[in-house]
Amino acid sequence: MTRHIPWILIAIVGAVALSVVAVSRGEAVNALWIVVAAVSSFLVAYRYYALYIARTVMRLDPTRATPAIRRADGLDYVATDKVVLFGHHFAAIAGAGPLVGPVLAAQMGYLPGTIWIIAGVVLAGAVQDFMVLFISMRRDGRSLGELIRMEMGQVAGTIALFGAFMIMVIILAVLALIVVKALAESPWGMFTVAATVPLAMLMGAYTRWIRPGRIGEVSLIGLVGLLAAIVYGQSVALSPVWGPAFTFTPVQLCWILIGYGAIASVLPVWLLLAPRDYLSTFLKIGAIAALAIGIVIMAPPLKMHAVTQFVGGDGPVWSGGLFPFLFITIACGAVSGFHALIASGTTPKLIASEAHAPIIGYGAMLMEAFVAIMALVGASILDPGVYFTMNSPAALIGTDAASASAAVTAMGFPISPELIVQTAKDVGEHSIISRAGGAPTLAVAMAEIFSHVVGGPAMKAFWYHFAILFEALFILTAVDAGTRAGRFMLQDLMALAVPGFKETKSIVPGLVATALTVAAWGFFLYQGVTDPLGGVNTLWPVFGISNQMLAAIALMLATAVLFRMKQDRYVWVTMAPTAWLLVCTLSAGALKLISADPKVGFLTHAARFSAAADRGEILAPAKSMEQMRQIIFNDRVDAALVAIFLAVVLSLLFFTIRTCLAARRIAAPTAREIPAQLVPAE
């Protein structure tokens, strides 16, 4: 009993912190209460729930050899130290999603987001990562698509592969859109990000020919280069020649990114992708750690309201009510379907013992949720007026300080035009109006926190561009790596129709698949960039729906596997989050398709515009008949995409139910695990 006492204390601390966050009204709540509430909930959840799943539901067996032991080859299958593997897995799952989603979710106030991140990760997100890791670990580290094929049949596997490809396309488009929003009309930011390309190539040459394999050395050189680029970027931005040369409109940036994606993804990996991945990975881990330390030192009060009037819908940042769209918007920080691809990727081939699975599978996802909590804190310590000025579309608040100040003040978040101008000046930008996408908002918050700790207000502009660079860097790495991954997925799919297409030695199928992948995400990027409502408004919910659907698919697989293991008594562990995710995604998908509110439903929006077009009318924000047709076309494409996602998830639900019913009719376990083998004695 005494061993439970510290955990009971942690639970009490967490409960107190959570109730302070939940019930305080009127006076400002300190951000540390949110941090304490999250950390203590995570510790208790790990100690009790993760261990319950490990011992009772999965029945992990430390004497059973993992793929890293059975198939050891010193390369892909390597029994890896628990701490080292935790770092590897966390670095692989942490991306832009958990930073952006919570920032966007802050439009409803900090309370709904906090509660969902904590509850969602404990009951759904971490369970998903952990279960997929477990399933893959027992099956030679196979990938999600192969696992679905093994347990639910060929057709289900192919549908899942197709769904994963579509999700990849949307992810790449939305990530690229965030970069466009962050770098448009920002010569300082654009210069520093552009500088990373030659810098990475230099690093690539260094690791290729001068000192092969010296990752630490070359990363330090790269870091010095990056810092120099940020410092020098200010002079570039101010220069009358170079400033305009690095100033791009969103549409120009969109084409630059599409060209970049197409070229970067066919270059040799050592030249650009690998060295930039070193920089972005280490910078990401460093920035996350610095943010955590900064928040603890600064202990900032929350300025955002606990709950805003936008919980009912009608928010300027994204449309739709709290249910289901808050859950769709937060996405990765609470539950991320994409992690199922990582947990069935390299990690299961590296895990040294089944006993390490809880800390890697469940623990790393808790850490990711902690990152999401920090992003939410970041957005909530800003003046709400600044937050809504940055995140509302220009169609609502105009493009100058006076109109933005009037519109945001009218929303109930008073802000003076002087503060808008001053905030932009502080961070070294021309304007902060309508810098949607989450990244600029988070960068302002990080500049606030970092400059409090190091450098004071004079360093704000430096830290702002440091934060933009850190986000843009790993997003661009993801665009490059994702285009390559998408290309292989597409080649696998096309090989089903044209057998020769999988041929990876011949150059033509690879180029065709790459071009198609870039064209696919480029289409949605262009659509998002030219969307008069800001793009994020349209694309982020589609991304969120697709990501949460992939999570539902992974949890359905886990449910089917538990039935096939004859662990029927414990299937609620995966069935409950599956049911919740299905309810959220299916209702969000259905609303996006057929909601009568034109701000939410794509088809209603299209119908309204097409009726107006037939009458020869032009509806704002369109300015010409051409734009009217563009909007109608985009709406219909988005609707089709959502319909495809709905069809994928419903058909996999059908296969899951069939598999579960079949498993229940048979008395013996039918799960297709690789037969147990003992860990060899030392």
Binding site for another protein (CB under 8 A): 72-76, 78, 80-81, 83-85, 87-88, 91-97, 143, 168, 171, 174-175, 207, 212-213, 215-216, 269-270, 273-274, 277-278, 281-282, 285, 331-332, 336, 338-339, 341-342, 345-346, 350, 474, 477-478, 481-482, 484-485, 488, 543, 547
Are 132 and 339 in contact, with CB atoms under 8 Å apart? yes
CB of 123 to another protein, least distance (A): 21
- C-alpha atoms less than 13 angstroms from C-alpha of 192 in its C-beta half-sphere: 32
Closest to another protein by CB, 345 or 385: 345
User: Which of residues 280 and 595 has its CB atom nearest to another protein in the complex?
Assistant: 280
For another protein, the closer of residues 236 and 648 by Cβ is 648
Distance of alpha carbon 123 from alpha carbon 622, whole angstroms: 44
CB of 173 to another protein, least distance (A): 11
Contact (CB, 8 A) for 529 and 254: yes
Looking at beta carbons only, is 206 or 572 nearer to another protein? 206
Of residues 482 and 601, the one with the C-beta less far from another protein: 482
Q: How far is the CB of 73 from another protein (least distance, A)?
A: 7
Q: Which residues pair with 64 in a beta bridge?
A: 678
Q: Encoding tokens for residue 572?
A: 């609620």
Shortest Å distance, C-beta 630 to another protein: 27
Task: Give min distance, CB of 193 to another protein, in A.
Answer: 17
Nearer to another protein by C-beta: 54 or 172?
A: 172
Smallest distance, another protein to C-beta of residue 332, A? 6
Closest CA to 674 of 127, 139, 27: 139
CB of 540 to another protein, least distance (A): 11
Measured distance CA(454)–CA(439) in Å, rounded:
21
- Helices and strands (H and E) in the chain: how many: 31, 0
Q: Cα–Cα distance between 635 and 527 in angstroms, integer?
A: 10
Cα 129 from Cα 50, distance rounded (Å): 11
Tell the smallest beta-carbon distance from residue 426 to another protein (Å). 30
| Closest to another protein by CB, 42 or 543 | 543
**Separation of alpha carbons 524 and 22, rounded Å:** 39
- Please say which residue, 11 or 79, places its beta carbon nearer to another protein: 79
Look at the block and give the residue holding tokens 């398709």. 593
Considering the complex, what minimum distance in angstroms separates the CB of residue 126 from another protein?
15
Residues comprising the chain, all counted:
682
Dihedral angle, C-alpha 6, 12, 15, 20, nearest 10 °: -120
What does DSSP assign to residue 615?
T
> Closest distance between another protein and the C-beta of residue 275, in Å?
10
Please, are residues 534 and 395 in contact by the beta-carbon 8 Å criterion? yes
Minimal distance, residue 565 CB to another protein, in Å: 28
Looking at the Cβ atoms of 204 and 324, the one nearer to another protein is 204
Residues 427 and 170 sit within 8 Å (Cβ to Cβ):
no
Asked if 71 and 454 count as a contact pair (C-beta separation under 8 A), the reply is: no
At its nearest, how many Å lie between another protein and the CB of residue 284? 9
For the CB of residue 111, give the shortest distance to another protein in the complex, in Å: 25
CB of 273 to another protein, least distance (A): 5
Name the minimum Å distance from CB 60 to another protein: 22
What is the rounded distance in angstroms from the CA atom of residue 637 to the CA atom of residue 524?
A: 9
> SS3 breakdown of the chain: % helix, strand, coil, rounded to 5?
75, 0, 25
Residue placing its CB nearer to another protein in the complex, 423 or 477? 477
Contact (Cβ atoms closer than 8 angstroms) between residue 310 and residue 105: no
Task: Please report how close the Cβ of residue 484 comes to another protein at its closest, in angstroms.
Answer: 4
Rounded CA-CA distance 408/226 in Å is 36
Q: Of 92 and 355, which CB lies nearer to another protein in the complex structure?
A: 92
Q: Which is nearer to another protein, 424 or 479 (CB)?
A: 479
**For 331-416, where are the alpha helices, taking DSSP H only?**
338-343, 347-350, 357, 364-381, 384-391, 394-397, 401-410
Burial class (CB within 10 angstroms; exposed 0-12, middle 13-18, buried 19+) of 43: middle
CA dist., res. 503 & res. 514, Å (int): 14
Query: Rounded to the nearest 5°, which phi and psi values hold at 63?
Result: -85, -5
Given the complex with another protein, which of 366 and 478 has the nearer CB atom?
A: 478
Widest pairwise Cα distance in the chain: 81
Output 94 or 561, the one with its CB closest to another protein: 94
- Distance, in Å, from the CA atom of 292 to the CA atom of 168, rounded to the nearest integer, reads 30
Q: Which is nearer to another protein, 147 or 461 (CB)?
A: 147
DSSP string covering 431-467, please?
A: --TT--SSHHHHHHHHHHHHHHHTT-GGGHHHHHHHH
**CA–CA separation, 668 vs 553, rounded Å?**
25
Residues near 346 by Cβ (< 8 Å), separated by ≥ 6?
76, 88, 92, 141
Residue among 85 and 649 whose Cβ is closer to another protein: 85
| Residue recorded with tokens 């019913």 | 661
